Chains A and B, each alone.
Chain A
Amino acid sequence: MIETHGLTKQFGEFVAVNDINLNVAAGQVFAVLGPNGAGKTTTVRMLTSILKPTAGTARVAGFDVVRQSTQVRAAVGVLTEQHGLYERMRALEYLEFFGRVYSLSTDETRKRGLALMDRFGLTDALTKRLGEYSKGMKQKLALVRAMLHDPQVLLLDEPTSAMDPQSAKQVREAITDLRKDSRTVVLTTHNLTEAQLLADSIGVIRRGRMIASGSFEELAQRFVGDPVMHLALGSAINGTASLIGELAQITEEGPDWLRYRTPTPTQTNPAVIKRLVEHGASVVSLSPLQMNLEDVYLNIVEEDEVAHGHPMKGAKSS
């Protein structure tokens, strides 16, 4: 659904996006992470055919972003970083305007618009001028606008940034439903929990380059290492470490607990428990240490810093 090869964008001598290769299939949610100014918005704008790539190619919904820009824009729904509403208009009037732009009939626009407004809890605000909407409501209406013409591809820039937890949940559910409907979603966000929760695959952009991409598990494996297991014992650890050390690499230990790293937990864990039981140790629990995207992301960024000779201050290492 989205395919890019060597996508590059230069503004004068400044390279904003450098050699980005993407392949996002239908029904996938792809999260783009990266610091401010990394090139995320520029990439999205190229995928919307607003910016023309300096080099490389990109196809969105089967259309070339340079030669078939009108078709590309008809096939995508965009939630921009700023909601960009016309504040003197009312919601329905606003949606009807965009409906006409996307060649929808008035009936179709009203039907879809009202259903989406209802879904995001905006029905009560239908007659209000958009200038009177709260920030979160504006963001939700902008999302309704992006979804109005039922696009095959949605490019969402920080979709929940201004929302209260309940609204953010509504949006996350909507994105999950879009995935079920085989829609492709590209999500740029700073909210790592949200990205981990929603994305099938994740890309990290830094200084215009895609420095890492893959599923969360793949990235975790590559940048954080093998899974870490946490073992809690019923008594003091006395000698247990040496028993386990033969089976896995111990990373930390306390008075009655220890952690070990293993590439194959499904094989190692039963062997560890078996050995402990054989030696009379009482096992309270054995569980994988939860990794989150923040750890993975910071490791990715740190590795990139090291590769470029500028170690990042305050970066978390595991």
Chain B
Amino acid sequence: MTAAIQEGEQHTLRETFANALIITRREVRDSFRDWRIIGPIFVLTLIFPLMAQGATGLFVRFFESSGATGLLPAFLPLLPMIVGFFPISISIVIALETFVGEKERRSIEPLLSTPLTNTELYLGKTLAAMIPPLLASYIGIGIYLGALIFGTQAWRPEFDLILQILALTTAQALVMVTGAVVISGQTTSTRAANLLASFIILPVALLVMLESFIMVTNNRYVLWYIVGGLLIVDAILFTTGARLFNREELLGRQLDTINLSWAWRTYRKQFIDGARTPLEWWARAWRAVRLVRGHAVVVILIMVFVFAGGFAVARVRTDLRITGTTMSGNVPTLLLALAARPPGVNAVVEQGVRVVLLATLLSVMSFGVLGVVAPMAPFALLGYVLGQPVWSTSGVESYLAIATLHVLLEAPALIIASSAALRLGMTFTQPNKQETVGERFLRALADCGRLFFGVVLPLLIVAGIIEVVLLPALFGGR
């Protein structure tokens, strides 16, 4: 547990929680004295649910008059979810103020001078940011449901829906708060923290849209996976925040000026890596592959896992539709057609570059997780495609040869790019006391750049040439 993360922290888990709650109690009490927090919470908790109840009536009448009452069960669950979501959005305001607000009010140093450990401070403040909005959210949902149950509306939500909405609301609040607390601990002004909050608000807004879509399309079981995923993200955010939290940095950083020249110098230094000639740089870029060795192991394991998964699925499902085509029976033809009429070197390289760039972008937004998932997904397809002739015992040699040549250089390129993206995304979760997160991120980004230009791109070009020149030569006549 994080109780012993920081140097010099010697409190037991029980003491840690007890001490954290001292902070929580004070901060919650303070929050309830701030009209800027209480005002919106009051409106969102008491007034908004009643408005939503009115909206439910409008929904019901609209669907009834349109003769679409069958759609009501899909649409109505959206309202309690929204009623629960609005109050927790306030949590972000409180959480963003957590550390940086105290720093601006100059009340942080007396607190940092107390015997409380970093974990206690961090946990106490995180709980304090979460409790008032979460309570407001539960009360809001309660009022809304109470008005439905005891009111005139015909709709009575099932118990499992209520449970699901409460779980979803709690998981979302946890993610928003832990994310905002990480930001608050790393910025130097509330203004900067508010600007950076878009990194939380935008993904959560997208998530709410996705959840709404899932609800409307009546695939509510998927929401439990989202709850699970959110809890994992929350655990990552909390441990990351606790590890990044540092008394010293909190007091030390005074400015939040964007230093582009410093950023460029840091990036450039890492990118060039002391090379004096392009050839030396290229040799160093290849040597830099060693930097992502550990990450490559993870990527390869995932690759093997997804390939095996696709291969196994091919045994039980031969009729999967992929990009609009039913794969059953087409696989051998498809592979041979691909080998005989490849799309051109440019197209092969462009596709690879798109995947790598997308993986890098997604990695930054997901602590590295999606940086691996996106490039590895085609290997599931490859497993499925190769599994079909194997399971149908229709002679696998040719297809295996095509597939091997196809991935011979493309796979190493994607493994290296994916490993570099994973490393980049993980810079946020693996703080290093010797350098700031920004410095570490820029250096990892520069490593991504030199690995891409020095290693991945040449591999993709050669892979494209193999696909376009070698494969048609070998299999064009078949």
A residues with CB within 8 A of B: 11, 45, 48-52, 66-71, 73-74, 76, 78, 80-89, 97-98, 100-102, 142, 145
Contacts and interface: CB of A to CB of B under 8 A. Distances in A.
B8 A70 contact: yes
Interface string B234-255: 0000000000000110011000
Contacts of A85: 107
A80 B108 CA distance: 10
**7 nearest CB pairs, A to B:** A69-B8, A82-B106, A74-B115, A78-B113, A84-B107, A84-B110, A80-B109
A80 B107 CA distance: 9
Nearest to A69: B8
Interface stretch (B26-34, B78-86, B155-163, B176-184): B26-34
A82 B247 CA distance: 17
A51 B109 CA distance: 11
B107 A66 contact: no
B22 A86 contact: no
Given A52-B248, A69-B8, A101-B22, A80 B115 contact: no
A98 to B, nearest CB: 7
Contacts of B251: 45, 50-51
B113 A69 contact: no
B273 interface: no
Interface string B3-30: 0000111110000000100100010001
Contacts of A101: 19, 22, 114-116
B8 A50 contact: no
Interface in B86-113: 105-113
A197 B260 CA distance: 50
Given A50-B251, A80-B113, A102-B114, A70 B106 contact: no
Contacts of A78: 109-110, 113
Contacts of A87: 105
B10 A70 contact: yes
A255 B19 CA distance: 74
A145 B7 contact: no
A80 B8 contact: no
B56 interface: no
Interface of B: 7-11, 19, 22, 26, 30, 33-34, 105-117, 247-248, 251-252
Nearest to B15: A103
Given A84-B106, A84-B108, A88-B34, A48 B113 contact: yes
A84 B10 CA distance: 27
Contacts of A80: 109-110, 113
A70 B114 CA distance: 8
Given A73-B113, A142-B110, A100 B8 contact: no
B248 A50 contact: yes
B109 A50 contact: yes
A145 B34 contact: no
A69 to B, nearest CB: 3
A76 B114 CA distance: 9
Contacts of B26: 86, 89, 97
Interface centre among A48, A80, A85, A89 (most CB of B within 10 A): A80
Nearest to A51: B248
A68 B10 CA distance: 9
A73 B115 CA distance: 5
Interface centre among B19, B112, B116 (most CB of A within 10 A): B112
Contacts of A102: 114-115
Interface centre among A76, A88, A101 (most CB of B within 10 A): A101
Nearest to B248: A51
Contacts of B113: 48, 50, 73, 76, 78, 80
Interface centre among B8, B19, B26 (most CB of A within 10 A): B8
Given A89-B30, A101-B19, A11 B114 contact: no
B9 to A, nearest CB: 7
Interface centre among A70, A78, A98, A142 (most CB of B within 10 A): A70
Contacts of B34: 88
B7 A69 contact: yes
Given A45-B251, A69-B9, A88-B34, 12 more contacts: A48-B113, A50-B112, A66-B7, A66-B8, A70-B115, A84-B109, A88-B30, A88-B33, A89-B26, A98-B110, A101-B22, A145-B110
A74 B110 CA distance: 12
Contacts of A66: 7-8
B109 A82 contact: yes
Nearest to B10: A70
A234 B150 CA distance: 107
A50 B108 CA distance: 11
A11 B33 CA distance: 38
Contacts of B30: 86, 88-89
Contacts of B22: 97, 100-101
Nearest to A70: B115
B107 A71 contact: no
A81 B107 CA distance: 11
21 contacts: A48-B113, A50-B109, A50-B112, A52-B248, A66-B8, A70-B8, A70-B9, A70-B117, A76-B113, A80-B113, A82-B109, A83-B106, A84-B108, A86-B26, A86-B107, A88-B33, A89-B26, A98-B110, A101-B22, A101-B116, A142-B110
Contacts of A100: 22
Contacts of A88: 30, 33-34
A67 B8 contact: yes
Given A50-B247, A80-B113, A68 B8 contact: yes
B261 to A, nearest CB: 15
B269 to A, nearest CB: 15
Contacts of B110: 78, 80, 84, 98, 142, 145
Contacts of A45: 251
B248 A98 contact: no
Nearest to B27: A86
Contacts of B252: 11, 51
A258 B247 CA distance: 58
Nearest to B30: A88
A69 B26 CA distance: 24
